[in-house]
Amino acid sequence: MAHQVITIAQQKGGAGKTTLAVHLATALMQRGQRVALVDIDPQGSLTMWHKIRGERFGEEYTGFAFSQVSGWRVGSEVSRLRRSHDIIVVDSPPHVETEARTAIRNADLVLIPVQPSPTDIWATRPTVELAKSERIAVRTVFNRVNANSRLAAQMRGELTDLAKSTLGNRVLFASSLLEGKGVTEVLPSSPAALEIKALAKEVTAILQAAQVDAPVAESFHFTKSLEMV
């Protein structure tokens, strides 16, 4: 797997975009991937986390390449980072306007964190529709799910692109951010870390499948173009 982009997107604020970006990127880095982080969210939460990490470990020892750019520059920044990194994780703004659309269109996979509530699920639809219109793989990730939640079970039926992995409502997801770390670094065997590891494994499989399918698609389009000559 190489040179692929994961965009974390959700038009509803407070869904856990940055939290998902941090913990997933950390787990992927620990799996041996060269990971770059790109923050185009004006709130700059991912930037703040990376700053704390740099203060704790040293700027050259965070384990990530990091960029904070304006949304309109994400395309050129992603192209630059693709040359030297296996995975680029983009934290996008909480809307589906120009900057977020650009981040989605530059992605190989779009992940949408969603809490098990009707308003969160309704808010995912524009993002899912945009990703599908661009023929980009998309998964919604249930986030902050309480154990044995009846509402979560009910809401599962409302989503068609739901990831198999679910993230629980765990304090460690938030508290580890204050340390500039991911949950898989703070407590590698904790339930939170195991959930993130499962998601990282699932995401890796999706990206690998996308790479296998890409040459076939390119060959198909090339053949069709020859038939039209």
Averaged confidence pLDDT in the chain:
88
Query: Which stretches within the chain are classed as H helix?
Result: 17-30, 45-57, 74-82, 98-105, 118-133, 150-156, 171-175, 183-186, 191-228
Q: 211, 4 in Cβ contact below 8 A?
A: yes
Averaged pLDDT, 130-156: 86
How far is 192 from 169, CA to CA, in rounded Å? 9
Give per-residue pLDDT as tens, 10-22.
888 888 999 999 9
Nearest C-alpha neighbor of 38 from the set 68, 79, 16, 76: 68
**pLDDT grade for 2, boundaries at 50, 70 and 90:** low
Residue 6 has pLDDT above 60, yes or no: yes
**pLDDT grade for 157, boundaries at 50, 70 and 90:** confident
pLDDT at 140: 94
Catalogue all structural domains in the chain, each as residue range(s) with its CATH number: 4-228 (3.40.50.300)
Residue 151 has pLDDT above 80, yes or no: no
Give per-residue pLDDT as tens, 184-204.
999 999 999 999 999 999 999
Helix 191-228 × helix 17-30 angle, to 10°:
90
Residue 224 has pLDDT above 70, yes or no: no
The proportion of the chain whose per-residue pLDDT surpasses 90, expressed as a percent, equals: 68
- Give the DSSP H or E segment for 142: strand 137-142
Q: What is the dihedral of CA 49, 50, 54, 56, to 10 degrees?
A: 30
Identify which has the larger pLDDT, 155 or 187: 187
Q: 78, 6 in Cβ contact below 8 A?
A: no
Q: 38, 54 in Cβ contact below 8 A?
A: no
pLDDT at 225: 36
Both structure tokens of 59: 């700027």
pLDDT at 212: 73
Residue 156 has pLDDT above 90, yes or no: no
Averaged pLDDT, 117-127: 87
pLDDT at 100: 85
Averaged pLDDT, 47-59: 97
pLDDT at 1: 53
Residue 220 has pLDDT above 50, yes or no: no
Residue 95 has pLDDT above 80, yes or no: no
